[in-house]
Amino acid sequence: MPPHLDPHPASGVIHRNQGDPVQDEDNSPRQDGPHAQRLLELVDQTLRDLQPDAPAMPPARLDSTLDQDLALDSLSRMELLLRIEQAFALDLPEDTLQRADTVRDLLLAIEQAPRAAARGRPKQATAPGPTPPDDDDKALTTASTLLEVLDWHERAHPQRVQSILVTDESDQPLSYGELAAGSRRVAAALQQAGVAPGQAVAIMLPTSLAYFHCYFGILLMGAIPVPIYPPARASQLEDHVLRHAGILANAAAVLLITVPEAKVVARLLQARVPGLRRLATPEQMVAPAESLLPVEIRGEDTAFIQYTSGSTGNPKGVVLSHANLLANIRAMQQVLAASPRDVFVSWLPLYHDMGLIGAFLGSLCVGFPLVVMSPLTFLARPERWLWAIHRYRGTLSAAPNFAYELCLKRIAPAALEGLDLSHWRLAFNGAEAVSPDTLRRFTERFTPYGLRPEAVTPVYGLAEASVGLLFPPLGRGPVIDGIRREPLALEHRALPAAEGDQGAQRFVSCGVPLPGHAIRIVDEAGQEVTERIEGRLEFKGPSATRGYFRNSEATAGLFHDGWLDTGDRAYVAAGEVYLTGRVKDMVIRGGRNLYPQEIEDRVAAVEGVRKGGVAVFGSPDPATGTERLVVLAETRLDGGALDRLRQEVVKAVLGVLGEPPDEVVLAPPHTVLKTSSGKVRRAACRNLYQQGGIGKAAPTARFQLLRLGVGSAALWLRRLGGQLARAAFALHAMLMLGLLAPPTWLATLATRSPAFAWRLGGRAARWLLRLTGTPFRVAGLERLPAGPCVLVCNHASYLDGLLLVAALPRPYAFIAKRELGEQFVAGRYLKKLGVEFVERVELRRSVEDANRMAELVKGGRSLLVFPEGTFIARPGLLPFHLGGFLAAAGASVPVVPVTIRGSRWVLPASRWWPRHGALEVEVGAPLPPRQEDEEVFAAAVRLRQAARAWIAQQLATTEQEEE
């Protein structure tokens, strides 16, 4: 669901006197033409119709903002747009709902919109029809990555349609071959842009075919997709930027793909996310596929990071692998009996797991076509969703509960004439609390149009389980459980209520766990409870995430003895699971457990309270040691009407709980904070209440933009200062090197002893570190053997040799590539240090050099080897070569592992300007040499494994660049 859309319709807006003249800010009649006059009259009439009992307010002006001045939520806007289209006989663009911020914006849209086509049954389309099964489709069930699935489709049937994008202008099909080819072009462009495997790339795009190309293009080159939602209305700009800056910073995103219209927001994000190096549009992310360098992708690799909605706290990045997603999709396919003969129709946003995994990736992995439309298409006219199911003979579709309510409230009977929903075999209701009343009314309303009651399917899932977790038996239909209120509130017992009990709480069964998955209900002590005892819902299975991205604290709180905490409360009855509410949202007041959702629904029904504008939460009361029950309700009423409304809210709460709330806070529209999917952010509302922010006027969009700009400028100046400081350090370091290197080189050439050259070089290296203010620590020198040995060290930078000369008290024979010995400056210096040069390319000479190394050790020389052979900018150890270990094994001398920390940060590969950072050399304990009865090669392998394990452990725990 788009972030700016309120999931519930408003029950009222400001009332205006019917006969008031329409005037502009200077109190003079406006001269903007007949369209302007007629539009303003229509706006005022719409507001009066939505709230006939509200007090009179000044009439609308062309510069009145739709949200702040007129207090229109998204669904009230929809009502206004429908009336505008009917009154002016035209078709407004779908994005008018999102783009229009003032009445003047609506006037401009009217003047530019084309005349409406004849209303009635929507255009016909050629349905994709049932997809024939393939003779060899085992790859769909055995593939270990999503890329293998796409590759199989491209080879098996490249011309077959994978997706159809439904728009007002046309229906745009996308074949498997086109998807694969477009993805390769995106992957090649990302590589050319410098994106490395394992780095995060954010996608901030509306629903489009380009979204599919970008998602798979990111996967193809080994990067990690991070879907985020596009910017909301201008009035929500600041909240959007601040929330998403935190997401992108946590994800360490290096590139953001977005549309040109969102470039302003993207630049504001870039200013707040230092690592976000580049912004690009899908059109810019295209390069010849032939230039794509292949990257190995495995099942355990991350397929994307799904940031949770943050309804109970800050968003967290759920890490999901290819294996997680495939396991979840295959389990859902099994329980739903999904096959290539199905057709999925979806308007769900692609930045949300239901739209991306359930619809897009599910259709890809099972092999049925996906019919997809923009969420704005659905919200502008909900009947378009149902007509798409009709036209394409859709068998599967899903939506949150609010969408079914929207169909009930916003679709006129005339718009459904001829509708046939008989092919719709599963209508999933999930992603938010499922209302038993909505299920009943939707079934009753659309059964005459072919909808089968058993098609209505409540489900439950969460991002931590990929997307789906609980599904009811196929073809059974909804099951509602009425339970007694007091035992649940006081004792966590879900006891069945008597037939006809009007005070009973009703919960919907979401079914049983997916195949291969398990659930349990635990009490506060973590002990599993029996049926009809409410507690925390936990699960485990192959779809489960391994944790939250770069958030070890939250990850630790997610797992309990191998089970994942969903954060939801539930109970089991007759083997099926009933969800009762969010753990963090539950209010504990005087020993009773109170559930906000039920109270919010009852308060929202009070005349004068905005639907969807209610938040119920607990606030600590130090005096009593319990929580105060606070009801925050939005309203457009003012003056004496507020006292009456407050009394009505108290009565509504009394009707639910039998006792009043501790406080009722009445606030203006848009005070209740919500997530991108329309869920009430109760924790955020509680923080706003406790900070005294309720009722404060929201800043204008212009002021928000100014404040963001000033904040971004301050961050930019701070980063500029940091860059200047880094540049100053680099210049100073290079100057010190330039002053010390020539005399050191000349003095070394004049020496005759490698030991003297080593001492001279070490002294110069330590002076260089001291003059540049670089912290340098050496540990473990006492572990160095007195006799010959082989030192092996990780290699991360050109600094490593300098650091070892500075750290080690006596000379060791460096083993270096032969090419260095041929250089005039480096070669002459290294020869004076006693460096031994070896061949890396020609096999015969390489073997001879390895034998020579062994003889050197037998002759009493100690060697210093970089077993990786080279170094790269990316953190991590490369494979270790065996040569130095064979020399140690052949001579029966110990191997001493050495770790260098910090050098990759200070001077990484392909960089010549150093950065300031701490450096450290640590010598490990000598590894036992080869025993007489141990074979040389086996001993070398043992020494290599032990040395690499110790060095890797040291780097994983303390090295700065590994983070």
Sorted by sequence, the CB contacts under 8 Å of residue 283 that are 6+ apart come out as none
CA dist., res. 130 & res. 342, Å (int): 7
Contact 128, 343 (CB under 8 A): yes
Mean pLDDT for the chain overall: 83
Angle in degrees, CA 487, 490, 496, rounded to 5 = 15
User: In this predicted structure, which of 53-57, 153-157, 178-182 has the lowest mean pLDDT?
Assistant: 53-57
Residue 948: which H helix or E strand, with range?
helix 936-958
CATH 3.40.1130.10 fits domain 732-962: yes
What's the burial of 89, exposed, middle or buried (CB within 10 Å: 0-12/13-18/19+)?
exposed
What's the burial of 458, exposed, middle or buried (CB within 10 Å: 0-12/13-18/19+)?
buried
Confidence of residue 17 (pLDDT cuts 50, 70, 90): very low
Find residue 896's DSSP bridge partners: 791
Q: What is the DSSP letter of 56?
A: B
Confidence of residue 621 (pLDDT cuts 50, 70, 90): low
Confidence of residue 927 (pLDDT cuts 50, 70, 90): very high
- Identify the three-state secondary structure at position 843: helix
Sorted by sequence, the CB contacts under 8 Å of residue 392 that are 6+ apart come out as 125, 127, 128, 164, 343, 345, 369, 371
pLDDT tens string 772-803: 999 999 999 999 998 899 999 999 888 998 99
pLDDT tens string 603-613: 888 888 887 78
Q: Select 592-695's CATH number: 3.40.190.10, 3.20.20.70, 3.30.300.30, 3.90.950.20.
A: 3.30.300.30
Residue 439: which H helix or E strand, with range?
helix 436-446
Contact 885, 941 (CB under 8 A): yes
Residue 211's pLDDT is what? Answer: 95
pLDDT tens string 376-412: 888 888 999 999 999 999 999 999 888 898 899 889 8
| Domain layout of the chain by residue ranges | 1-119, 144-513, 592-695, 732-962
- Identify the three-state secondary structure at position 772: coil
Q: Which CATH class is domain 1-119?
A: mainly alpha
Closest alpha carbon to 309 in 372, 244, 381, 245: 244
- Identify the three-state secondary structure at position 208: coil
User: In this predicted structure, which of 137-141, 189-193, 330-334, 716-720 has the lowest mean pLDDT?
Assistant: 137-141
Tell me the mean pLDDT in the region 432-447: 91
Record the pTM: 0.70
Confidence of residue 520 (pLDDT cuts 50, 70, 90): very high
Q: Which CATH fold would you assign to the domain 144-513?
A: Rossmann fold (3.40.50)
